[in-house]
A and B are shown apart, each in its own frame.
Chain A
Amino acid sequence: MDWHQMSILSGGVCTLAIFSFLIKENPFYRIFEHIFIGIASGLGAVMGVRYFLWPEIIKPMVGKDIIVFPDGTYSKPYDPLYLLYLFPLLFGLLYYFIYSKKYGWLAKIVIGFSLGASAGLAFKGFFAEMVPQLSSSFKQLVVFTEGSFDLYGTASNVVFVFTLLAVMYYFLFSFRGEGLAHKAISGSGRWLMMICFGAFFGSTVMARLALLVGADPVSTE
């Protein structure tokens, strides 16, 4: 049995162990659940060191990325500026003071920095993502294609704009609406959302079945 066959076999055993939960909760399932969590955590740490910490930070810092040619010359000179990486590296390590009662405040500086940076990124990302969507929601209610009336395009845009307005109206809680028009628009918004949730659920079922296919090593190897 070669490595490939062994990997397929072990994959099969692991899959069956997890699927055994479908029959009932059992120790076999529990053991493999813990193995998976352990592997995922370990793999994440190793990959972080292998693909980032070593090649991007430590290797250039200690000059290990410089190749020495047979004639004794170097591929590039050592750049001492890489030692500046030590400052963010040490700053990041302050996070581990979270385990200390006395110096726990040091970890808060790192957390604050991370929160600030994440908020800044999210703010920038929000506009880059949402503005095109907002502008694309302004649609023509009567569509003409190559000079002639486009029934499909018109119907599609009317449904889109009505759904957008009805669902937004449903979530207006600032005032108490009354009357037939309010009930009709708000009720339509609710029904349209129900249809949307149905589509979401259908696609969720489809994705779950696809996961089952992914567990079959024969089909996708």
Chain B
Amino acid sequence: MGNLDRRIIYLLVVVALAYPLLEKWSIKPARMASADKFFTIVESLAPDKSLAFVALDFGPNTKAENSPQAEVVIEHLMRRRIPVILFSQYVLADPFLKSIPLKIKEKLEEEYQGQTWRYGFDWVNLGFRPGGGLIIQSIPKSKSLQEVFKVDANGTPLKELSIFKEDVPIEKISLLAEFTGLVGAFDTYVQFFQKADYRPVFGHGCTSITIPEAYIFLDSGQIKGLLEGIAGAAWYSQRLSQKYPNRGKDDALLINTGLGIAHLLLILLILVGNLGENIGHIKHKGGVG
């Protein structure tokens, strides 16, 4: 086993990952308690009084995990007609700010014939803004979001968009949802997206590698809901499908299945490798003795 060419291992992992994706084969995901909490938070929002500020701070490097997370949460918000304000402090997120809501709009309009989801009414894209923590800090300090952002990603003045017809101070934001693999980007929201007397309910979607760190914030109550990597997105998707039975399959379930198969393969290889190594070691010792 020790002499197994690493390229064969790569090939096996690729096959294990690719098969469910190519065959569109998915299995039921495991229940994730913190994803359930996130789902319940979105369910509890009142459509006529709530606004969601959704930050997509991810690029192509972590899109396999963060994009399905963002899709299921934004889909849930749009299904419930809760206006979504999209924003990013990560330059490579720019294409996702445009493509994700459009993809969901098409999906929903196909499912609900005759209904429409419109830019400006159901969602607004504030685009990427440089400045990191400085811009996040300026949100609670300003009178309203209009004062900080002025125009959307297309250069349209915010006052011309229905969501921003009235002033939107931080107190009007009921839900802050942030999806990223960057711990630094996430920290800026924990630290600065709040006032002394107001902090919106915070839900977070992290990549697998940052799960252990995200648990600290979940335990302390700084975040109320968490999507742990693709597994969290898959369970959220399952909850959505339970509530909306006509909803089709999505990427979260497919990727989760692929990852699950690949993990099983890795566990098998680790077990076989360790077993082979130990048997060889015992035989060698026995031979010498």
Binding site for B on A (CB under 8 A): 22-23, 43-44, 47-48, 51-52, 55-56, 121, 124-126, 128-129, 132-133, 135-137, 160, 196, 199-200, 203-207, 209-214, 216, 218-220
**Judging by beta carbons under 8 Å apart, are B192 and A213 in contact?**
no
> 1/0 per residue B124-164: CB within 8 Å of A?
00011111011001000000000000110101000000000
Which residues of the partner chain B approach A137 to less than 8 Å between Cβ atoms?
A: 220
Q: How far is the CA of A44 from the CA of B91 in the complex (A)?
A: 7
Candidate in A124, A125, A136, A219 with the most chain B CB atoms within 10 angstroms: A219
Contacting B254 at CB < 8 Å: which of A47, A48, A219? A219
**Judging by beta carbons under 8 Å apart, are A125 and B133 in contact?**
yes
Which residues of the partner chain A approach B92 to less than 8 Å between Cβ atoms?
A: 43
**Judging by beta carbons under 8 Å apart, are B266 and A205 in contact?**
yes
Give the number of residues in B that approach A within 8 Å (Cβ atoms). 61
Which residues of the partner chain A approach B133 to less than 8 Å between Cβ atoms?
A: 121, 125
**Judging by beta carbons under 8 Å apart, are A211 and B17 in contact?**
no
Contacting B61 at CB < 8 Å: which of A160, A200, A211, A216? A211
Which residues of the partner chain A approach B128 to less than 8 Å between Cβ atoms?
A: 47, 51
Contacting B17 at CB < 8 Å: which of A133, A136, A199, A209? A209
> Of all chain A residues, which has the CB nearest B135?
A52
**Judging by beta carbons under 8 Å apart, are B222 and A213 in contact?**
no
Q: Shortest Cβ distance from B230 into chain A, in angstroms?
A: 6
> Of all chain B residues, which has the CB nearest A49?
B130
CB interface residues, B 210-244, toward A, < 8 Å: 210-212, 216-217, 219-222, 229-230
Which residues of the partner chain B approach A206 to less than 8 Å between Cβ atoms?
A: 208-209, 229, 259, 263
The total of Cβ contacts below 8 Å across the A-B interface reads 132
Which residues of the partner chain B approach A136 to less than 8 Å between Cβ atoms?
A: 219-221
**Judging by beta carbons under 8 Å apart, are B130 and A52 in contact?**
yes
**Judging by beta carbons under 8 Å apart, are A213 and B207 in contact?**
no
Q: How far is the CA of A132 from the CA of B229 in the complex (A)?
A: 24
Given contacts A126-B191, A129-B222, 8 further A-B contacts (CB under 8 A): A125-B188, A133-B220, A135-B220, A206-B208, A209-B259, A210-B62, A210-B207, A216-B18
Q: Can you report 5 residue pairs joining A to B where beta carbons are below 8 Å apart? A: A43-B92, A56-B150, A129-B187, A133-B217, A210-B208
Which residues of the partner chain B approach A200 to less than 8 Å between Cβ atoms?
A: 212
Contacting A212 at CB < 8 Å: which of B13, B127, B129? B13
**Judging by beta carbons under 8 Å apart, are B7 and A207 in contact?**
no
**Judging by beta carbons under 8 Å apart, are A213 and B17 in contact?**
yes
Q: How far is the CA of A47 from the CA of B129 in the complex (A)?
A: 9
Contacting B91 at CB < 8 Å: which of A43, A132, A218? A43
Q: How far is the CA of A212 from the CA of B263 in the complex (A)?
A: 13
> 1/0 per residue B48-65: CB within 8 Å of A?
000000000000111111
Which residues of the partner chain B approach A126 to less than 8 Å between Cβ atoms?
A: 191
Contacting A219 at CB < 8 Å: which of B137, B221, B255? B255
> 1/0 per residue B76-99: CB within 8 Å of A?
000000000000000110100000
> Of all chain B residues, which has the CB nearest A208?
B209
Q: A44-B91, A51-B129 are in contact. Are A128 and B192 (CB under 8 A)?
A: yes
Query: B288 at the A/B interface (Cβ < 8 Å)?
Result: no
**Judging by beta carbons under 8 Å apart, are B208 and A207 in contact?**
yes
Q: Shortest Cβ distance from B44 into chain A, in angstroms?
A: 22
Q: How far is the CA of A44 from the CA of B207 in the complex (A)?
A: 23
Contacting B64 at CB < 8 Å: which of A44, A48, A121, A213? A213
Contacting B191 at CB < 8 Å: which of A51, A129, A199, A219? A129
Contacting B131 at CB < 8 Å: which of A22, A52, A129, A160? A52
Q: A129-B190, A132-B221, A220-B67 are in contact. Are A212 and B14 (CB under 8 A)?
A: yes
Q: A209-B259, A214-B64 are in contact. Are A133 and B222 (CB under 8 A)?
A: yes
**Judging by beta carbons under 8 Å apart, are B130 and A121 in contact?**
no
> Of all chain B residues, which has the CB nearest A48?
B130
Q: Shortest Cβ distance from A201 into chain B, in angstroms?
A: 10
